[in-house]
Amino acid sequence: MAPAAELTVGQVAMRSGVAVSALHFYEARGLIRSHRTSGNQRRYGRDVLRRVAIIKVAQEVGISLAEIGAALESLPEGRTPTREDWNLLSTAWRDSLDHKISQLKKLRDGLTDCIGCGCMSIDKCPLRNKGDRLAREGTGARRLVAG
């Protein structure tokens, strides 16, 4: 009845969908932790599944392992993270996530806003209609990318 207390690296790999070598790699980078059996084999607590899930999702949206690692550092050392702990992590990321969401929406919604190089709006683009004004304003005329 009681769920197995610990998972082997192979079990975590199977359940999480990432390769054993990747789990070793994450551990070397401090993103996940394990303890060892007397025979030097890794054993994982089940919160590792959630950590790996976050790593995967975060990576998919372009967050680097370094950033993910920094965020995961905020989780408690000794005990299994609570819902509150996970919420804190989300909060820490909120700004950057909101920014990415808005970038994605721009891409999805027809690239009609002014982004990147200067201006994305075709019809009323200052670059096209006003003799290239933005080119002279500071270091590169980035608008929404900077803001």
Partner DNA sequence: CTACAAGCTCAACTTAACTTGAGGTCAAGC
Partner DNA sequence: GCTTGACCTCAAGTTAAGTTGAGCTTGTAG
The token duo for 55 is 């790593």
Binding of its own copies by 109 (CB under 8 A): yes
The site for DNA (CB under 7 A) is made up of 8-11, 13, 19-22, 24-26, 37-42, 55, 59, 64-66
By C-beta, is 22 or 121 nearer to DNA?
A: 22
Partners of 21 in the β-ladder: none
Report the alpha-carbon angle 129-134-135, nearest 5.
Answer: 105
Question: 């967050």: which residue's tokens?
Answer: 63
Q: What is the DSSP letter of 127?
A: H
C-alpha 18/C-alpha 15 separation (Å) is 8
Sign of the Cα pseudo-torsion (14, 15, 18, 20, in order): negative
Pick what 5 binds: DNA, its own copies, none; C-beta below 5 to 8 Å, kind-dependent: none
Round to the nearest angstrom and report the end-to-end CA distance of the chain.
54
C-alpha 112/C-alpha 122 separation (Å) is 8
Pick what 76 binds: DNA, its own copies, none; C-beta below 5 to 8 Å, kind-dependent: none
By CB under 8 A, the residues from 23 to 82 that bind its own copies are: 46, 49-50, 52-54, 56-63, 82
Binding window for its own copies (CB under 8 A); candidates: 19-27, 30-38, 94-102: 94-102
By C-beta, is 65 or 121 nearer to DNA?
A: 65
Which residues of the shown chain bind its own copies in the complex (CB under 8 A)?
1-4, 11, 14-17, 46, 49-50, 52-54, 56-63, 82-83, 86-87, 89-90, 93-94, 97-98, 100-101, 103-112, 115-118, 120, 122-123, 127-128, 131-132, 135, 139-142, 145
